Amino acid sequence: MPKPTQPVSLFALYKLCFVVGLFSFGGGLTAWFHREIVNVRGWMTDDEFFSGYALSQILPGVNSTNMAVYIGQHLRGAIGSTAALLGLLTGPFVIVLAAAAAFHHLVALPGFAAIMGGVAAAAVGMMFRLGITSARGGFRRISSLIVLVATFIAIGIMQWPLLPVLVVLAPLSIAAAWPRKSLPTPSSPKAPGDA
């Protein structure tokens, strides 16, 4: 899908983040952001989105708010970041206040725990899909695939702390992905009589 020629309106950005924030229970916001911003609206490319996704994962703070700030900044600058963050947080803020006031009544409802379990399962499925989509980009180069596998083994299997793994693998990953100038190919010898 081609990128929009006109800048994304602040209202459209606020509205999208409001809807995502309002209806994303139990996580999965980043997967929904990807679907809406890359697949449905074409506001960003996969590479632009996943660059921000990687950044939002390593920065301090909540990943979804980091992602909203990145999306807003990428699309409309500082004012876009503000609109996206406000949109993301407005609905949940009101709902959390209302839920806190009515929590003891909600827990007593039959099936409430099952509903929350189902919502959490859907969120895990969305994150699984996002993981597969982002991993596909890592298969373009063997060096990216090696870093991807090393990260999975170090954190997912060995349970090593994130910060030391990041300190070692991030520079290696950046060096492997850094664009290099291609070496000139030696020109073929000229035939006699060629100018």
- What are the tens digits of pLDDT across the range 83-112? 999 999 998 888 888 888 887 787 788 888
Over residues 138-142, the mean pLDDT reads 70
Per-residue pLDDT for 191 more than 70? Answer: no
pTM value is 0.59
Q: Report the 3 state secondary structure along 97-142.
A: HHHHHHHHHHHHCCCHHHHHHHHHHHHHHHHHHHHHHHHHHHCCCH
Residue for token pair 């700030």:
69
Over residues 118-122, the mean pLDDT reads 82
Report the chain's mean pLDDT, rounded to a whole number: 82
Say if residues 24 and 31 touch (Cβ distance below 8 Å). no
Q: Return phi, psi of residue 159, to 5°.
A: 60, 35
